[in-house]
Each structure stands twice: as structure tokens, then as C-alpha cells.
Structure 1
Amino acid sequence: MTEPKSRRRGAELEHAILDAAWAELSEHGYARFTVEGVATRAGTSKPVLYRRWKGRAELALAAWDHRVPASREPIDTGSLRADLVLLFTRISRRAGAMMNEMVAGVMADAFRYPEVADLLRDRLTRPSSLTRAVEDVVARAVARGELPPVRLGLRAARAPLDLVRNEHITCGQEIDEATIEELVDEVYLPLLRGLAVG
């Protein structure tokens, strides 16, 4: 085993590894993405990476989260529709930064490796900054009287991401404003109204 090339620790080392992982993904794609390649580029060893991430899928997703963090800015335009258009636009920009080949590769790994399927299931079944943003947008619309009280479960709160991700994977390109408006007007607003309580 070779000695790590530097004595970086903590956040500094983690940033270097995630930057190296993103560079490897960008240059080689997910099919040729390896933990060994990331370790070499980051100037560290494979065991250092495996102490933080279980495998290449988890490392690739962590690199994407690091490179394109979810926006923390609250969405409050004063209108439910405008809030949703802005929310879908933010999701689309973030999803657009993730290479479709990487998405396909991680999903293929999920079919072959149970631990990758568990990783994806965990990411999709827990509350996140996105689902909290959707809940906040809906709560403000209810408070303004634009929506009746609704029962917003996790799947419904996650639906904007699912809709946008499906468009990106299916079409393989940036989603335009007209498509975002169609998703909001023809799919998500009717869904929210259908979730009215009582």
C-alpha cells in the first residue's frame, strides 16, 4: 500500500476527494469511474475513500452533491404557480448538472448491487431540502388561501424531482421554460388540488 501524498485531513481532504471525483466523472464518465482513479487524482489512498464512502456510486452522488449543492434560498414570490415554476427551474438546473450517463450508470449498478439499490432507496425515501422546500411552498399557498389544506405525503413532495428527472432522462437535454410550465400547470398543480383534505 502506498502512503498518501499529503497530510490533509477533515474537510480539506474531503473537498479534495470530491473535486477529484467530479473531475474523474467529467473526463471518463461513470462507466470508467473508479475509486482508485479518484484516490490517485486526489493524492490519497483507496482505504481513505472507503472509510467515507462504501463504493463508487455513493462517491459519485456525493461528488454531485458537493459540486451542485441544493439551493437553500427560500422560495416566496407571493404566488403558488410562480413559486412552483421557480422551484421546478431550480431542480432542472441542478439535475442538468448531473450527467445522464452517470444517472444511467448508478441506476444500472442498483440492479446489480443490493447496496447501491439501498443507497438510492434511502436517498429517495427520506425527507430532504427539496421536500422541505415543497412543503414550505405549499404551506404558504394554504396560508394565503390559494390552496385548501392538503395532505402532502413524501411521494407528492418528491414529485417535482421525479417529474424533472424523468424529463432529463427521457429527453437528454436541458428542460425549457415551456416544459417547466406544462409540468406545473398540467401535472403538479392538479395533483396538489387533488390532495385537498376533506
Structure 2
Amino acid sequence: MPERRRGAALEKALLDAAWEELAETGYARFTMEAVARRAGTSPSVLYRRWSDRDDLVRAATVHVLREYRLDTPDTGSLRGDVLTLMREINATRVQFITVMGAHLAGYYRETGTSPGDLRDPLVTGRAQALDVLFDRAVERGEIKPEPLTERVRSLPFDLLRHEILMTFAPVPDDVLEEIVDTVFLPLVLPPAR
């Protein structure tokens, strides 16, 4: 007989099952009953934790963002760090970005939210990871902090996400380099003399 899951182990299993269900079937066919079947439990176990499927979708998405955070690279240069992180996202997060963008369209419409609401960097820890990356570049003297607005910080990753959502496939490496070298770095590096 399988060991009974409780507490954090049960919650993780439920959230993992919810994410798998979303990724496989999309929001339109996502039900509490299907998640319960996938998790090997009853719907009442889910309803004790989340009032409805929208609460569960949000919890599963935040869980995945927290659980599978990428390490912040330290290559010794801003270009290297940003490219390394983009390459890691490109290699490991295409399915996640697709689910967030395409599979959850009905969720956004029904709840009046957007992907940005689910990717709250304060909730998921994304803000701190990028802060470390950019703070290192400032400390090395590569860049000044003034041009690093939130939009500029997120720009290379926003462009990567856009490219993935246009094809639902990994982005060619030359496109990643173009994003970094032609679009992002000219915004933050001091002008050449």
C-alpha cells in the first residue's frame, strides 16, 4: 500500500499534478476531478486547499515558478551572464512558456488577469535573481545602474519569450545573440569613445 502523503509532500504532489494537467490538456479542459485522478486522491482533498480551479491554476503556476527557478549564472561578464541565462531558459522552459502564454489564455480571459499577474517576480523570486545578475555587472564596472529600469532588465527575457510564443519551439542561438548584442547591450553599456 502506498505511503499516505501529508502536509508539504501532499501539497507538492497536488500542485505537480495540477501543472501536468494544465500542460497536457490546457485550461479549457482543466478540472479539479482530473487533477485529483492524476494525483491519486479525491476532489475533496483539493477543495480543502483551493476554492476552485482558478485558485488551483494560480497556485500551480506559482509553485512551478518557485520550484524550478534557474540558478543565476556568473560568467564574469554581463553579456555572458545574460546569454547563459537565456540559453538555459531556451533549453528548459519552452513548454512552461507555451503553457503560460497559450494554454492559459482562457484563464486570463475568465479571471481578468494576465501572464504578468502569475509571474509576479516578488512572489516567485525572479526579481532577486535578476538583481544579482545586474548588481554584479555594476560592481565589475561594466555598466552604470541608471539605465537599468525594470523594462530594460526584463527586455532580453521578454524578447526571448516572444520568440518562443511565435513558434512554440526553442529559439536559434544566433537569435539569442542578436537580442543581447544588438538590442539589449547598447541600452546599458556606456557609449564607445
Relative to 1, partners in 2 of residues 1:182 and 1:52: Cα closer, same or farther, differing over 3 Å? farther
Is the CA contact 1:21–1:63 (under 8 Å) kept in the aligned structure 2? no
8 Å CA contact 2:26–2:103 kept in 1: the answer is: no
Count of aligned pairs between the two proteins: 187
How many Å apart are 1:99 and its aligned residue? 6.2
TM-score, normalization: structure 1? 0.76
CA offsets 1:1-35 (integer angstroms, 9 cap, x no match): xxxx9842112212221332244335434432222
Confirm whether residue 31 of structure 1 aligns to residue 28 of structure 2. Answer: yes
Structure 1 144/187 Cα, relative in aligned 2: closer, same or farther at 3 Å?
same
> Which residue of the partner structure matches residue 68 of structure 2?
69
Match of 2:42 among 40, 45, 48: 45
Q: Which moved more, 1:94-103 or 1:159-168?
A: 94-103
Q: Which runs of 5+ in 1 are unaligned?
A: none
Aligned pair partner of 1:82 in 80, 87, 93: 80
User: In 2 relative to 1, CA 90–51 (structure 1 residues): closer, same or farther, beyond 3 Å?
Assistant: farther
Going from structure 1 to structure 2, the CA distance change for 1:150 and 1:50 (only over 3 Å counts) comes to: farther
Identity of counterpart residues, as a percentage?
Answer: 39
Deviation at 1:148?
2.6
For 1:146 and 1:184, locate their aligned partners in 2 and report how far apart those are by CA, in whole Å.
Answer: 15
Equivalent residue runs for 1:42-191 within 5 Å: 42-53=39-50, 55=54, 56-62=56-62, 64-65=64-65, 69-71=68-70, 73-98=71-96, 100=98, 103-114=101-112, 117=113, 120-121=116-117, 123-124=119-120, 126=122, 128-191=124-187
Which 4+ residue blocks in structure 1 deviate beyond 6 angstroms? none
The Cα offsets for residues 141-169 of structure 1, whole Å up to 9 and x where unpaired, read as 22222213335333333333322211111
- Bigger mean CA offset, 101-110 vs 35-44: 101-110
Counterpart contact for 1:25–1:33, Cα < 8 Å = yes
Tell me the SS of whatever aligns to 1:145. coil
Question: Deviation at 1:178?
Answer: 1.0
Greater alpha carbon shift after TM alignment, 162-171 vs 41-50: 41-50
What SS does the aligned partner of 2:137 have? helix
How far has the Cα of 1:111 moved from its partner? 2.0
Partner of 1:9: 6
Q: Look up the SS of the partner of 2:171 in the other structure.
A: coil
CA contact (8 A) 1:96 1:168 kept: yes
TM-score (norm 2): 0.77
CA distance in 1 between counterparts of 2:19 and 2:57 reads: 12
* Structure 2 counterpart of 1:178, one-letter code: D
